[in-house]
Structure 1
Amino acid sequence: MTARPEKTSFPLKEHLGFTIHDGEATGTATLQLDERHMNPHDVAHGSVAFALMDTAMGAAVMSVIDEGATCATIEIQTRFHRPVSSGLITSVATVLTAGRRVVHLEAKTFDESGHLIASATGSFAVIQPSA
């Protein structure tokens, strides 16, 4: 399996404004926080960190599955460690185990000072192309 180029555009990526990169069994998603990402208390909404980790995990999965296959989230367990209200946040996902049908991962999201703001573990289904 080889790393695949980033998909240039999809609606959620464009709406939230993040970037995505994959490596060998890893994925990274970054986002510059702005007012679109805040909850009513001027702190980044938890769904923003979740979406970033979900996307980074998807990129990591895509780097280890066969060409032509795709993936879908089965489940993600998320923990929020500290609030963040500005700056660049980065989610880094790593494949823990990759089977033919399911890939298990972990992800961590950091603020620009390197503080851990959220972490997650997840499982993704591998979807083989139809014959």
Structure 2
Amino acid sequence: MTDRAPVTLSPDQVAALPSGALVERMGIRILEAGSERTVARMPVEGNTQPYGLLHGGASAVLAETVGSIASAVHAGAGRIAVGIDLNATHHRAVRSGEVTAVATPLALGRSVASYEIVVTDQDGARVCTARLTCSLRDRPPA
């Protein structure tokens, strides 16, 4: 997939990741972060559509969050990952509890990274499958 060694962040590094207002507002918690696997959880409560079901857009935000973090870890120090394509297929409804997203790489290059993100409910049933492609760039000057 790539000639770069896989990178996994320590728990302290995961805790220090910048989150942003949307991630905080949605209650997303990053549990594990690395170029080969990134995992996060999000509550269903507060992220529902008018029928009381997990909003598809919330699943997409969760997917883009874990895929972007994984891409940024892969990109390395001094580089950033910017999402350029996201698609999501919603398989089943969720009304309560939490959902978990796991991002695993499809292709890791120097300028582009693509991840599959699987979102599951508390019973492990697949709720959503997404794919995110990120452009990897040098960090702009401060």
Query: Structure 1: 5+ residue runs without aligned partners?
Result: none
Identity of aligned residues (%): 25
1:121 corresponds to: 131
How far the C-alpha of 1:8 sits from its partner, in A, is 4.6
Q: How many residue pairs get matched? A: 130
Residue 67 of structure 1 aligns to a residue whose secondary structure is coil
Q: Does 1:94 align with 2:99?
A: no
Which amino acid counterpart does residue 72 of structure 2 have in structure 1? M
Which amino acid counterpart does residue 97 of structure 1 have in structure 2? A
User: Residue deviations 1:87-121, cap 9 Å, x none?
Assistant: 11001001111111110111100000000000011
- Equivalent of residue 27 in structure 1, options 35, 38, 44: 38
User: Runs in 1 of length 4+ with deviation above 6 angstroms?
Assistant: none
Q: Is the 8 A contact 2:99 2:122 kept in 1?
A: yes
Cα RMSD for the two superposed structures = 1.6
1:37 corresponds to: 47
**Cα pair distance change 1:129/1:87, threshold 3 Å:** same
Normalising by structure 1, report the TM-score. 0.91
Q: How many angstroms apart in 1 are the aligned matches of 2:36 and 2:72?
A: 8
Q: Is the 8 A contact 2:82 2:136 kept in 1?
A: yes
Moved more, 1-10 or 118-127: 1-10
Which amino acid counterpart does residue 52 of structure 2 have in structure 1? D
Which amino acid counterpart does residue 93 of structure 2 have in structure 1? P
Moved more, 19-28 or 87-96: 19-28
Q: How many angstroms apart in 1 are the aligned matches of 2:140 and 2:20?
A: 23
Q: How many angstroms apart in 1 are the aligned matches of 2:68 and 2:116?
A: 11
